[in-house]
């Protein structure tokens, strides 16, 4: 699902254009970047309260794992089927034009890559890979789907027929009855399989963090798009930029934990803001 057509540039875009002009920009994106593609977020102004599963719950309790995989088995194909919105496409165009030098994303939906962005650091991993927590063997989510379908014949059809499927963030679906769902383990060693996603309570791999800091430190501007910066995995990059006197611009509906560091804050949506830029020709930003 794409954003509706933009009739006029949002208020403040001219100020953002002036701030970006002539600078090397690194973008830091959160869930608000993907809501116009039909992926809900956890903390948006209109989002219902949701409690994400923690790393400790997933690893420590088989019932939590069963509940997670039942929900994910129904929801992950929705995320796989989503397409980049106008904001993703505009950001990729800015990279092609030389304005954006890299994208750090807290999202696991791969929509920046699908849109054509080339230098992307997926801080929290992606929905498309699954990792064995014992032997580190990785498989695609497609491969796991085949195994889970074989182990749970008719599960998806029965849930859809009974209640319908409501999609939740992080490739989940809202499902209450999961007690009879069968989980499968690693075919190589029998270890626990986990999405290759950084859960709440889990740390982003150090090499990934270091690469992201390197991008920020080489930038002339950090542009935050659609993130409340509630968790440290995103906020630390804003703090690093501010410490180095690198300007920070934030585009987000609602307050963020990084507002105090912002040179400019726009309370607008990501798609309409980025889509209001002319990125043709020399790749420099101009409001339209």
- Please tell me the predicted confidence (pLDDT) of residue 39: 87
- Please tell me the predicted confidence (pLDDT) of residue 109: 94
Looking at domain 1-39+84-124+203-288, its CATH architecture is: 3-Layer(aba) Sandwich (3.40)
Q: Is 252 annotated as a binding residue?
A: yes
Q: Which two tokens stand for residue 33?
A: 């970047």
As a dihedral over the C-alpha atoms of residue 151, residue 38, residue 287, residue 254, rounded to 10 degrees, the angle is -110
In this structure, the number of other CB atoms found within 10 A of the CB of residue 205 comes to: 12
Q: Which two tokens stand for residue 51?
A: 């409690």
pTM exceeding 0.85: yes
The mean per-residue pLDDT over the stretch 78-88 comes to 92
- Please tell me the predicted confidence (pLDDT) of residue 281: 37
Range in 2-6, 143-147, 203-207, 249-253 the model is least confident about:
2-6
Span 181-235, pLDDT tens digits: 999 999 999 999 999 999 999 999 999 999 999 999 999 999 999 999 999 999 9
Range in 69-73, 198-202, 282-286 the model is least confident about:
282-286
Q: Is 269 annotated as a binding residue?
A: no
Q: Is 43 annotated as a binding residue?
A: yes
- Please tell me the predicted confidence (pLDDT) of residue 2: 41
Q: Is 42 annotated as a binding residue?
A: yes
DSSP secondary structure letter of residue 54: B
Q: Report how far apart, in Å, the C-alpha atoms of 17 and of each of 23, 90, 242 are.
A: 10, 14, 20
Per the annotation, the verdict on 124 as an active-site residue is yes
Q: Is 48 annotated as a binding residue?
A: yes
Percent of the chain surpassing pLDDT 90: 68
Angle (nearest 5°) at CA 258 between 252 and 264: 60
> 67, 88, 124, 180: which is the annotated catalytic residue?
124
Confidence of residue 280 (pLDDT cuts 50, 70, 90): very low
Looking at domain 47-81+127-197, its CATH architecture is: 2-Layer Sandwich (3.30)
- Please tell me the predicted confidence (pLDDT) of residue 77: 84
Closest residue by Cα to residue 209 from 196, 198, 195: 198
**What crossing angle do the helices spanning 232-243 and 206-217 adopt, rounded to 10°?**
30
Residue whose token pair is 């585009």: 251
Answer whether residue 36 shows pLDDT above 80.
yes
**What does the alpha-carbon distance between residue 145 and residue 176 come to, in Å, rounded to a whole number?**
20
Q: Is 206 annotated as a binding residue?
A: no
Answer whether residue 282 shows pLDDT above 50.
no
Domain ranges of the chain: 1-39+84-124+203-288, 47-81+127-197
Q: Which two tokens stand for residue 152?
A: 């749970």
Q: Which two tokens stand for residue 240?
A: 């690093």
């Amino acid at each position: 699902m794409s954003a509706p057509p933009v009739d006029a540039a949002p208020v403040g875009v001219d100020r953002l254009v002036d701030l970006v002009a002539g600078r090397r920009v690194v973008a830091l994106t959160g869930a608000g970047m993907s809501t116009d593609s039909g992926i809900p977020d956890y903390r948006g102004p209109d989002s219902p309260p949701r409690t994400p599963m923690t790393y400790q719950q997933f690893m420590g309790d088989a019932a939590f794992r069963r509940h997670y995989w039942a929900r994910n088995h129904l929801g992950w194909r929705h995320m796989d089927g989503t397409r980049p919105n106008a904001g993703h496409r505009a950001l990729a165009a800015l990279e092609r034009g030389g304005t954006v030098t890299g994208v750090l994303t807290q999202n696991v939906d791969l929509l920046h890559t699908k849109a054509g962005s080339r230098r992307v650091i997926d801080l929290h991993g992606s929905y498309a890979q699954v990792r064995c927590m014992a032997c580190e063997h990785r498989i695609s989510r497609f491969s796991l789907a085949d195994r889970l379908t074989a182990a749970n014949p008719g599960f998806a059809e029965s849930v859809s027929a009974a209640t319908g499927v409501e999609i939740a963030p992080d490739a989940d679906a809202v499902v209450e009855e999961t007690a009879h769902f069968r989980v499968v383990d690693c075919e190589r060693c029998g270890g626990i399989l986990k999405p290759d996603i950084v859960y709440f309570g889990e740390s982003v791999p150090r090499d990934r963090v270091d690469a992201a800091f390197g991008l920020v430190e080489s930038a002339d501007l950090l542009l935050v798009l659609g993130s409340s910066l509630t968790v440290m995995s995103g906020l630390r990059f804003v703090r690093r930029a501010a410490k180095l006197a690198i300007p920070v611009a934030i585009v987000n509906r609602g307050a963020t934990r990084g507002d105090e560091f912002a040179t400019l804050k726009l309370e607008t949506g990501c798609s309409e803001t980025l889509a209001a830029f002319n990125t043709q020709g020399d790749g420099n930003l101009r409001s339209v």
